[in-house]
Amino acid sequence: MAIIRTTVLGYPRIGLRRELKRAVEAYWSGTSDADALAQTAAHLRRTTWETLRDAGLDEIPSNTFSLYDHVLDHAVLFDAIPARFADLTGLERYFAMARGTSGVAPLEMTKWFDTNYHYLVPELKPDTTFCLDRTHNKPVEEYRAAASLGITTRPVLLGPVSFLLLSKPAADAPKDFRTLDLLDGLLEVYRELLAELAAHGAPWVQLDEPVLAADRTPDELNAVRMAYERLAAVPVGTERPKIVVASYFAPLDTALPVLARTPIDGIALDLVAGARDLDRVASAGLAGKTVFAGLVDGRNVWRCDLAAALSTAASLLGSVGELVVSTSCSLMHVPLDLDQETSLPADLRSRLAFARQKVDEVVLLGRALREGRSAIEPELTAASEALATPVAGAVDARVRARLEALGEGTRRSDYATRVAVQQSASRLPLLPTTTIGSFPQTREIRAARADLRSGRIDEEQYNAIIRAEIDRVIALQEDIGLDVLVHGEPERNDMVQYFAERLNGFASTEHGWVQSYGSRYVRPPILFGDVSRPEPITVEWTTYAQSRTTKPVKGMLTGPVTMLAWSFVRDDQPLAETARQVALALRDEIRDLEAAGIRIIQVDEPALRERLPLRSADQPDYIAWAVAAFRLATSGVSDSTQIHSHMCYSEFGEIVDVIDELDADVTSVEAARSRMELVADLAKVGYERGIGPGVYDIHSPRIPSVTEIETSLRLALEAVEVDRLWVNPDCGLKTRRYAEVEPALRNMVEAARRVRREVSPA
């Protein structure tokens, strides 16, 4: 019988009470120092290792912790540091690469595959020379720290092929340069690192190659083969630990036999999102390898169907060498501990499992495989009963009847007709200036929200505070000179959570935090049932803002795809049907905004690219229902109402044709860190609608100069006609301070005026 062990591929690093966020932000603000930050980090790492050990896992990962981002950690570890950071050292340099400084731009940031996690994109050149950081060898240091506690861990590294393919050529790199060209030099550094880990006693190392979950070219698969033939060619022991290559988020498909033929010791399979790999295991030649079976979902919060997972595991036993029961991916994508949630309905709570509970599920599966099903019979029964018990209010016959009657919804007039109507009614100048929606959430606003929750103030007092903040934001925008205003969203805690709390079919957590990037955490709501809107959500605050100005105010909504992508979504019906339900609720809200006199309505879809399946064969179905959901939400208004959308921090160049299919009148996109790449991509496919490429990066505290923004605008004008170009930041301003926002927006408006005078001197 195969040897059975248990593990997880990673674990949340933020702390039960978001200790990492508080420590990092205290360091940034100067109220704490590097020693205090290091102490918090050490405490969080130790707590994780001890928690996983005490839960009964056989193997525990290390080097999954990061102060900001694990890809950034690898860039620093391998000395892949752009020259503009050469004058900085230590934490100052590390955080400058993540956030920038007043004079230095940060690394580009984009989505980690189809998740809401953002990673920092290393910049490479043909002359990039990799070398191991001898002053802070993080994987070795963390392995030794765990060993000092008596805990033997499995260090986790981003694999060499993924590191290179997730990187990008530096701005001054030759156009024919491929980051994968640097593989030979990088492999030498990996061999050196593996040897050091082996010397310190590491029995296994996990090399994550998530790029293998996407379509790969023959040349890229050949690079994978070559990389792991070289890394695993040396003997296990003093020269290297055993190597397991992990991929996740989709099937390995053609990469599975490639890996199987290399001398690596193990392969980790995501058998939740990549279940079809099961059909290839028997023929892939894995009988001599250890297979890490990702049976417990690391991406969603629903309880594992233990009986089904056991059946899957049993089907592997005759085809693999050793079997390790694991999670499908790192648990960093789910909240930490369900035990912290005391307000969720009992029938819903019984169906959930957060990271800590998923560890228990892995341990239970391992026990059942070793000792037989009878060893966990009570847990199997409890899981089956919970999954079979419907959640109260999950089914709404009225919603289903409305969707059936509506069909696919109605289409608006063609864009040429709409834009003519909108331009005749508009008094906007060329290069109209606006923002994406949110303004800084001040300490006073957050305190007012907390006071309302605790009962220290009543609804009337809270509303007065919000009205005063809207007054201030409207007055500030008029003083700055923006052309299209927003109400600033002071009443909103999060662009998804705020709406979820006001829609039937969603539940919210109290402590269900998940890292989005750096110190930015979100609490994804749980979409458990049919979705409907009991009453208008945004109309009151938007119309109040419009009453305070003669300039147009945009209504601000979160689109149906993003509502799904940034929630934990029910898995008992197709995503397409759930998306239609959310779209129907938003359609009602949009029509109410229009009826209240709001003529510009923005429906944000920053997660549109994020949700795109990694395998091309799976993408057409997603694109069809995503586009249909957006159009269903936005097609119920007249031609004179201008529909905007916004997208950020993903590789949108890959779906420019989909952006066109959404049929929004104006689309604003992240473009500053990527040097307006998407604008050129849109021009190539003949995109003819309004476009607002972000002219400065809001995820950095630095304030762009007028000249810098002018340069971005002129670059955009090389690909876009002036009458289609809007001027806006990359994203919402919620996470910034007014001391940064106000001068940046003033510079943006001045840059637009200067360019406007050139293109329209009259």
Per-residue CA distances from 730 to 138, 436, 634, 671, 706 (Å): 33, 8, 23, 7, 16
Catalytic-labelled residue, pool 70, 487, 644, 699: 699
Q: Are 116 and 566 in contact (CB under 8 A)?
A: yes
Distance between CA 413 and CA 425 in Å, rounded? 17
Question: The tokens 């990527």 sit on which residue?
Answer: 674
CB 201 within 8 A of CB 159: no
Bridge pairing between strands 153-158 and 642-647: unpaired
User: What three-state secondary structure class fits 758?
Assistant: helix
Q: Cα–Cα distance between 348 and 499 in angstroms, integer?
A: 20
Contact predicate 18/513, CB 8 Å: yes
The DSSP 8-state label assigned to residue 191 in this structure reads: H
333 is catalytic: no
Query: CA 516 to CA 649: how far, in whole Å?
Result: 11
Structure tokens at 198: 């082996």
CA-CA distance, 59 to 53, in Å (whole number)? 8
In a 10 Å sphere around its CB, with 0-12 CB exposed, 13-18 middle and 19+ buried, how is residue 605 labelled? buried
Q: Report the Cα 410 to chain-centroid distance in Å.
A: 32
User: Residue 539 burial by CB count (10 A; 0-12/13-18/19+): exposed, middle or buried?
Assistant: middle
Q: Residue 222 contacts by C-beta under 8 Å, 6 or more apart in sequence? A: none
Contact, 264 vs 249, CB < 8 A? no
Does residue 556 sit in helix, strand or coil? strand
The DSSP 8-state label assigned to residue 602 in this structure reads: E
Q: H or E segment at 62?
A: strand 60-62
> What are the φ and ψ backbone dihedral angles of 710, each rounded to 5 degrees?
-55, -45
DSSP state of 426: -
Q: E-strand spans in 257-321?
A: 266-270, 290-296
Q: How far apart are CA 266 and CA 286, in angstroms?
A: 9
Task: Please check whether residue 388 is in contact with residue 336, taking contact to mean a CB–CB distance below 8 angstroms.
Answer: no
Can you give the length of the chain in residues? Answer: 762
DSSP state at residue 211 = G
Residue 188's contacts (CB-CB under 8 Å, 6 or more residues apart) are 130
- Is residue 104 within 8 Å of residue 84, measured between CB atoms? yes
Compute how many other C-beta atoms are within 10 angstroms of the C-beta atom of residue 100.
Answer: 20
State the burial class of residue 322 (Cβ atoms within 10 Å of its Cβ: 0-12, 13-18, 19+). Answer: middle
Helix (H) or strand (E) holding 76: helix 70-77
Enzyme catalytic residues: 699
